[in-house]
Amino acid sequence: MNAIQSVKRTKESSPAIHRWDHFRTSPLSPCSGRLNWLSHFIQTVLSARLGISVVRFTDSQFFSSSYPSTQVLGYCQSSASRTPIIVLRHLACAIIMSLACVAPALSQTAPEIFKVDPPSWWTRSSVNPVRLLIRGKNLEAARVRVSGTGLRIVGAPKTNDRGTYLFVDVAIAPQAGPGQRQIQITTASGTTQSAFEILSPLTRAGNFQGFSPADVMYLIMVDRFSDGDPSNNDPAQSRGLYDRENKYYYHGGDLQGVIDRLGYLKELGVTAIWLTPWYDNYDRLNEIELKEGKPCTGFHGYNPQDFYAVEEHFGDLAKLRELVNAAHRLGIKVIQDDVANHTGPYHPWVDDPPTPTWFNGTRERHLNNVFQTWELHDPRPVEILKRETMEGWFLDFLPDLNQHDPEVARYLIQNTLWWVGVTGLDGIRMDTWQYVPNSFWREWNAALKRDYPSFRVVGEVKDGDVVHTSFFQGGVTRFDGVDSGLDSLLDFPLFYPIRHAFAEGKKLDDVPKTLAKDYLYTKPNILVTLLGGHDDGRFMSEKGATIDGLKLANTFVLTTRGVPQLYYGDEIAMTGPDEATARKDFPGGFPGDRRNAFSREGRSRDEQELFEYIRRVAHLHNELEPLKRGALVNLHVSDQQYAYARTTKDGAVVVAMNNDTKPIMIAFEVSPAGLANGMRLVDRLGASRDVQVENGKLNVALPSRSAAIFVQK
């Protein structure tokens, strides 16, 4: 054996040390012949590719301390006592150990794919090509190709600096058949692939319907409504987050539970269900946001860690599609609760963002939201306050997405379209609307309406000021030069007077006074009117609240202008003074519940009376055309009485309310409602006797805390 730069032997018995990166074989070498090719392979891989220096054998126990950068594979006897068999034995050992070192070293540089967003898309979409965000590692200088027909790569893929994200545009042929394709990624270190599915577009009939004032909307907190599948209560993906005794843990409600209760909702008169977010939330306890000093979970759904997956505690995409289809068969629309302002604190993006500007700031350095929302519509804002409000992280820990980054904007727009396109949704309730730039909303809404012109969106702007809230409705270009295109808003400016009047017994005239500001909205008739929700204590826990007051509040919401929205459990007078307790489980929706309030037998007398009352008013709303689409005409306003009509060209409905604790007789003009002398009207709620128009007026006697809905007899 000839060795280049090998350690010189001065005596036959001195240690023999040979380095794989510094030797070549000779005809007399044990490595010659059949083993020669293997020695060259090891030499090439370890030296040229990996830069590793490996000792073949040595009989010196102190060699490694003298040469710390050299790996010792074994020791041997002096060369005088070596035999060919021993040499071959050591050589075999060295080869095996060398190969063991090579395999993991190579695998560390091979490309890997963790996730592809979106995982699928459909033919004949207005979005084509579709931009894929591929998360993985070792994606630097990647080449991308497609295996399968009907799909092609457009342009050059882009990789982030760390090689952890790849942006790839794929175009889908209009006639491409549905099915799986493979996205193949190749680098100098290897090849990997992941599936991408081409879908057939959903039929337009019965899908993407939008919502309107003709609907009765019902808000469901998925985790707290009904447990239809106990097998997903403690899934393997996220063990230990289920505990019905802990108000901040998962309780078991799921999509199957909603499917099981669709008949109940139909009986109540519901025509649209708004479900809290079903995104996959974090699979661990949240130790950043502490509730009462202890970690909590993302049961509410507003802290997504995967925008393209269904929370495993709720079900999966197939179950969501089943729910939408089952609801549609019963004439019930489905509204998604969408989140575009932020992610959850444990999203993979937080520590490894796809672009440097993916978030407004970083986990270590960011603005804290100061919630000075009045600055958002101020033409002369204090810029730092406005920036802290728009870019600050909610509660100092929810990562704020930067929609000014074009990649973020495209990702969010595609994500919304994907949920609609693969499920057939009818509308969206968008969370934290005002904290996202209007310029983004303009593009987002335009993309939605381009594909789904009947689709409707309601934005959450949680503020009691009509001037502030109305600024965010679309249909007009504001001083910032932007028309956001937003259809509807949650009518929080009306929510607070409703609570004050009907729960606390304060002046009722604050309700029509608030309605008098409707001119500030572009489309007040599409606003979503509500008396309860998941972010506030329940109506029945307000000071002074009674069942009679709750009946009046529901009567008003179901008969005034706008889209009426009920909150799960309010129809049986559930209580809860704060956010956490307002999210209690619906009794009877969970295994082991002592009673089932989904059935008549499981309700108390007061609960049954209230349920029947709300059911009656909801069905009147669905039956009477003026209550669904009529113009609102005020007829009488006093401190504790209010009368109004809903009119169409074909008729009118008159609603009279007495919020006082004593009976009252009121007289009011009805000619503005188009009612002629001699017309006889009957109260469909039975609180008042029949009345007749005389001298252009109605004289109505009402008991304390009651309402009447008059229709022509």
DSSP structural state of residue 20: G
pLDDT of residue 60: 40
Nearest-CA neighbor of 295 among 329, 333, 248, 226? 248
Q: What is the mean pLDDT of residues 534-560?
A: 98
pLDDT digits (tens, 9 = 90+) for 662-675: 999 999 999 999 99
pLDDT digits (tens, 9 = 90+) for 614-668: 999 999 999 999 999 999 999 999 999 999 999 999 999 999 999 999 999 999 9
pLDDT digits (tens, 9 = 90+) for 115-129: 999 999 999 999 999
Nearest-CA neighbor of 630 among 646, 653, 650? 646
Classified as helix, coil or strand, 682 is: strand
Classified as helix, coil or strand, 422 is: helix
- Compute CA distances 498 → 554, 618, 659, whole Å: 10, 18, 11
Nearest-CA neighbor of 54 among 70, 66, 74? 70
Classified as helix, coil or strand, 551 is: helix
Q: Are 293 and 215 in contact (CB under 8 A)?
A: no
pLDDT of residue 31: 37
Query: What is the token pair recorded at 679?
Result: 């017309």
Q: How far apart are CA 673 and CA 657, in angstroms?
A: 17
Task: Output the average pLDDT for the chain.
Answer: 89
Q: How far apart are CA 411 and CA 140, in angstroms?
A: 21
pLDDT of residue 49: 40
Percent of the chain whose predicted confidence (pLDDT) is above 70: 85
Q: What is the mean pLDDT of residues 436-461?
A: 98
**CB-CB neighbours of 230 under 10 Å:** 14
What global pTM score does this model have? Answer: 0.86
Domains parsed from the chain with CATH numbers: 2-107 (no CATH), 112-199 (2.60.40.10), 217-623 (3.20.20.80), 627-712 (2.60.40.1180)
- Length of the chain equals 713
Nearest-CA neighbor of 181 among 214, 211, 144, 207? 144
Q: What is the mean pLDDT of residues 101-123?
A: 80
Complete DSSP assignment for 279-337: EEE-SS-EEEEEETTEEE--TTS-SEEEEEEE-TTT--HHHHHHHHHHHHHTT-EEEEE
Q: How far apart are CA 80 and CA 66, in angstroms?
A: 24
Q: What is the mean pLDDT of residues 45-72?
A: 39
pLDDT of residue 108: 57
pLDDT of residue 583: 98
pLDDT at 70 over 60: no
pLDDT of residue 85: 47
Give the sign of the dihedral formed by CA 351, CA 355, CA 359, CA 361.
Answer: positive
Q: What is the mean pLDDT of residues 73-86?
A: 42
pLDDT at 55 over 80: no
Q: How far apart are CA 511 and CA 555, in angstroms?
A: 13
Task: Specify which residues 427 forms β-bridges with.
Answer: 335, 456
Query: What is the token pair recorded at 137?
Result: 């590692």
pLDDT at 702 over 80: yes
427-430 and 456-459 strand pairing:
parallel
pLDDT of residue 701: 98
pLDDT digits (tens, 9 = 90+) for 214-265: 999 999 999 999 999 999 999 999 999 999 999 999 999 999 999 999 999 9
Confidence of residue 11 (pLDDT cuts 50, 70, 90): very low
Q: What is the mean pLDDT of residues 347-355?
A: 98
pLDDT at 80 over 50: no
Q: What is the mean pLDDT of residues 470-475?
A: 98
Query: What is the token pair recorded at 405?
Result: 């980054």
User: CB under 8 Å to 85, separation ≥6 — which residues?
Assistant: none
